[in-house]
Chain A
Amino acid sequence: MNSVLFLVVIPLLGTFISLFNKKVKEMTFLITLFNEIFTIYIITCVGLPKIAIIGGFLPPYGINFVLTDLSLLFIFLVNTAGLISMLVINEKKTSKFYSVYLVLLAANNGLVLTGDLFNLFIFMELSTFAITALISYKRDKVSSGTGIKYLILSSVSSSFLLIGIGMIYKTLGTLNIADIAGKLNLLSVPTLSLIILLIFAGILVEIEIFPFNIWFRRLIFQQMPALM
């Protein structure tokens, strides 16, 4: 089932094509529709292998995508949300908006599917940049102020995430998430708690869970309706 990677590759390819394509909106809609249909096709396939190999190298040496029931549910949610937001957009947008949107779609798909810790970090950065670009799309007072705050906060938190990943590689010598999960009980308790603290500090700030989302509320109330 290596073809599950099309969920990430096709939107990214569409991003580049959108740079010199006149009918960007139609193309974006087609790509989102393709993703949705492909997701439904993947879900209906029974007897899937659990792992999609990238680059021909078996895990834990290469990067891989993992298909579980949970990740199938989440790619369905992500792509459905993408399709709905494509249908809701009715204002005229520049082509850059659609490029950023496609990158965000690909990043969210990859974030759900990936089975490699450093790959997760890169997808996280990708979605950070895409979200910041969407926040500051209108270029007025609120959006530029909120955009810069989000970028600074998430950069600091992703630095913590990167330190945590480095410590995991230093102690366990692997980056594959399944491999790490198998070896995690080898760690001593203080080291394990430090690593967990760093990684959670990184992830929680970036996905705006409750205590870390104070800066975000105003944006939702003032800015999000204008984005549509």
Chain B
Amino acid sequence: MSLTNLFLISSASLIFVGLYGVLTKKNIVRILLSLNIIETGINLLLVAFGYVEGGIAPIITSSESIANLTKMVDPVPQALVLTSIVIGLGTTAFALGLTINYYKNLGTVSISKEEEEKINE
């Protein structure tokens, strides 16, 4: 198995584990943890899309690295992932604030049918 396939498989399995958590769990904090796992998996997947076997990091350190420009791994997915990591942090922070507010209003942190009825009253 090559390194590229390994990275693709491990990141895809992270995404699926996270999706399972989001689908089955009722506790909001746990759903957010699963959401973060999905985001980590997506970041790994995007960087793995740009990986080249035997590539070098896209940083120019000397004259030799300019001769090897075609061997560099793709820098664009890395730039996109930098953005998406920060967006993930924003999502986490905002959702946790909402969770604390939800807990203050309803006295619980789970989303289920009983809580739906409690909200509707």
Interface residues of A (CB under 8 A from B): 118, 122, 125, 129, 132-133, 136, 139-142, 144-145, 147-149, 151-152, 155-156, 159, 162-163, 165-167, 169-170, 175, 218
Name B37-53 residues within 8 Å CB distance of A: 38-39, 42, 45-46, 49-50
With A122-B83, A140-B105, A169-B77 known as contacts, the answer to whether A151 contacts B94 (CB < 8 A) is: yes
Residue of B nearest to A171 (CB): B49
Residue of B nearest to A218 (CB): B120
Other than the given A145-B102, A148-B102, A169-B80, 5 more pairs (CB < 8 A) read A132-B94, A144-B101, A145-B111, A159-B39, A166-B80
Give CA–CA (A147, B38) in the complex, Å: 20
Partner of A141, one of B45, B49, B95, B105: B105
Contact A162 B105 (CB under 8 A): no
Name B1-31 residues within 8 Å CB distance of A: 15, 19, 22, 28, 31
Residue of B nearest to A155 (CB): B91
A125 contacts across to B, CB distance below 8 A: 87, 90
Partner of B90, one of A129, A142, A144: A129
Partner of B45, one of A133, A152, A163: A163
Partner of B31, one of A122, A152, A169, A170: A152
Give CA–CA (A123, B19) in the complex, Å: 24
Contact A169 B76 (CB under 8 A): yes
Residue of A nearest to B98 (CB): A148
Interface residues of B (CB under 8 A from A): 15, 19, 22, 28, 31-32, 35, 38-39, 42, 45-46, 49-50, 76-77, 80, 83-84, 87, 90-91, 94-95, 98-99, 101-102, 105-106, 111, 115, 118-120
Closest 7 CB pairs of A and B: A170-B49, A166-B46, A148-B98, A144-B101, A144-B102, A145-B119, A141-B105
Give CA–CA (A162, B105) in the complex, Å: 33
A175 contacts across to B, CB distance below 8 A: 76
Give CA–CA (A129, B42) in the complex, Å: 20
Contact A162 B42 (CB under 8 A): yes
With A140-B105, A149-B111 known as contacts, the answer to whether A118 contacts B80 (CB < 8 A) is: yes
Give CA–CA (A141, B19) in the complex, Å: 27
Contact A144 B46 (CB under 8 A): no
Give CA–CA (A144, B101) in the complex, Å: 7
Contact A136 B49 (CB under 8 A): no
Interchain nearest-CB distance for A214 vs B (Å): 12
